[in-house]
Structure formats: structure tokens, C-alpha cells
Amino acid sequence: MEIARVIKVGYLSEEASRQLITAPWDDFPLNYEPAAITSVIDAAGGQPLLTQTICSGILERVGRRLVKEGPSPMTTATLAEVEAEILSTLTHSEYFRAAFSALPEDAQTLLATIAHRQKDKDAYIETASLNTHQNRKTLENLRRRDMVKEKDGEIRIAVDLMRQWLILNQRKIQK
């Protein structure tokens, strides 16, 4: 007897991310500066939960601003508000800890290693430099969980906020 079915939900395309950010429901009353939309897309990397978490925080932020300044006919989220919310998500969201803690210890170690070797959000590192012969199963686990992206024998963390969280929490992770 089947009581549950696992359905894999993948990452959002840029177009789907833009739709979720700018029009999550009909007649959504918030506009965004163009650079603010791009910032959310880049930060969340198409990860649906992170996109929603960031956008929810932006709505709260803009709501607080409107309480102070009064209503506006064309309410727009600014790049500064979006960047502040991305930083808040990075430092306060339980998503990162939960996703990392759900990994086996060897996968945690490998993911942290990749994060520290990756120079920036778009950089890839050579998969061979990770001693992948010993880490083949671990790497496959990270691939299945969409934690890493691979291209032409190189690898990187799929969502840059996760990479940043790993770097920020290095001491806590090692304990």
C-alpha cells in the first residue's frame, strides 16, 4: 500500500522565477526595480523555497516602509530593500541549516570543500581536484539533491546563497 509519493520539484527557470517574484497572484500590488528582480533571481538560483522566502520578507519590509511613509499608488520594492532581505535570509533562514544537516557527513564535508574552493557564484572547480574516485557516491548524492551543478568536468554549488552560508558558518560546521 502506497501512502505517499515522492515528487521531485526542480529549480525554477529564470522566466518562472520572474513570474513568482513579480506576479505570485492576480493583481499583485507590488512592483520591483528591474535590478531588484535580477538580484532575487541571482540569489535564489531558481530554488523555489528560497525565492518565496526572500519575496515574503520583501513584502514585510515594504509593508513596514508603507506604514511609516503612508500608502503609495505605485509601490515599488527597491534594490536596497531586496539586498537587505537577501542578507537577512542568508543569516536567519533555517533553510540552509536544515538542507545541510539532512546530508550525510561525507556529503557535508564535500559540499563545504566545494564551497570554499569556488571563487565566486559563477565559478566552477575541476571535479577531478576533489578526489572524486573516493567521493563518487557522495558526489552522486549531492547531484540527486540538486546541491551541485556540473559542466564539462567541473562543478559548483547550485545555489550561491548556500555557498555563502557554508563560508559564513565554517566554524559552526566544523564543530
pLDDT value, residue 132: 61
pLDDT value, residue 154: 93
| pLDDT tens by residue, 143-174 | 999 999 999 989 999 999 999 999 998 866 55
Q: Can you list the alpha helix ranges (DSSP code H) found in the chain? A: 14-22, 34-44, 48-69, 79-92, 95-101, 105-117, 132-144, 160-168, 170-174
User: Can you tell me the distance from the alpha carbon of 117 to that of 66, in angstroms, rounded to the nearest whole number?
Assistant: 42
Q: What fold does the segment set 98-174 form as a domain?
A: Arc Repressor Mutant, subunit A (1.10.10)
User: Can you tell me the distance from the alpha carbon of 99 to that of 93, in angstroms, rounded to the nearest whole number?
Assistant: 11
Task: Report residues of the chain scoring pLDDT below 70.
Answer: 1, 6, 132-134, 171-175
User: Can you tell me the distance from the alpha carbon of 54 to that of 37, in angstroms, rounded to the nearest whole number?
Assistant: 11
pLDDT value, residue 136: 83
Q: Coil, strand, or helix at residue 147? A: coil
pTM of the full predicted structure?
Answer: 0.84
